[in-house]
Amino acid sequence: MFKVIKEIATDHFSNRSQIIKLAKADLFRTYRGAALGWAWAIIKPVVTIAAYWFAFTVGLRAGGKVNGYDFFLWLIAGVVPWFYMSEMLTQGTDSLRKYSYLVTKMKFPVSTIPTFVSLSKMIINVIMIAIVIIIFWISGYPPTIYYLQIPFYILLDMIFFTLWALFSSLFAAVSKDFANLVKSFITALFWFSGILWDATKIRNIWIKRIMFFNPITYLVNGFRNSFINKIWFFEQTNLLLYFSVVTLFMFFLAVICYKKLRKDIPDVL
């Protein structure tokens, strides 16, 4: 186990510059051939945010105030982080198949491929979070000291979903059915993870605890704590503990999966 962990760490350290270069290349490759290029990575989520604004502010008019903030602001504080999570659930899972040539032709370390894909998606998400900050500011809510913990949640977000991508991409490489199974659960995760509703309002304490074992729920709530609820992460140590346990479990799951499958990946790809 420790030998495998050391191998993964060494591969990342030795190829750190290549990981950054490949993350940049992934950004441009996704939108290659389009006139606006990688700018579509920003335009697409901005259009989605505009659609939410129209639906909940102009159309349904169902959005009341949440802790003194417009419902639309509460919504985008959680939806924007979800953009990264949903992409990692799908594209992170497909990362080894997408970049199979790096493994079969260039002998690039398998463990680093999900990492540069994750970095690529997070770059876009950080830009989107900056746009959310601007929207809040324009709406009359300038940055507060609680914004200082946003990088902390971004880090937790990237750590968990990079580990997820390592685990899931290995499984998806040997079984296309696993990738299809993950994609079929995306919509259910969106609705059950407290993105369009407030998971903290659940009255049943046991259901609430189970909900916050879902890392998506914890992270979305964490970003909302930074933007709206004004709660520090260390004020909810029990929830941080839940997230840490799940992340540690995902870490060992990814390492075990890597240990079992890393030698077979070049053949199955």
pLDDT attached to residue 83: 92
State the total domains in the chain: 1
Backbone φ and ψ of 69, nearest 5°: -105, 150
pLDDT attached to residue 86: 93
pLDDT attached to residue 241: 94
Quote the domain boundaries for residue 253.
Answer: 2-268
What angle in degrees, to the nearest 10, is found between the helix axes of 113-138 and 71-87? 170
pLDDT attached to residue 219: 96
Map residue 99 onto helix, strand or coil: coil
pLDDT attached to residue 34: 54
Q: Under the phi-then-psi rule, with left for phi > 0, alpha for psi from -120 to 50, and beta for the rest, what region is 65?
A: beta
**By CB neighbour count within 10 A (0-12 exposed, 13-18 middle, 19+ buried), where does 161 fall?**
buried
pLDDT attached to residue 125: 92
pLDDT per residue rounded down to tens, the chain (269 residues): 778 888 888 888 888 889 899 888 887 776 665 555 666 667 777 787 777 777 776 655 555 677 778 888 998 999 999 999 999 999 999 998 888 888 887 778 888 999 999 999 999 899 999 999 999 999 989 999 999 999 999 999 999 999 999 999 998 888 888 888 898 889 889 888 888 888 888 887 888 888 888 999 999 999 999 999 999 999 999 999 999 999 999 999 999 998 888 777 776 76
pLDDT attached to residue 149: 96
Map residue 258 onto helix, strand or coil: helix
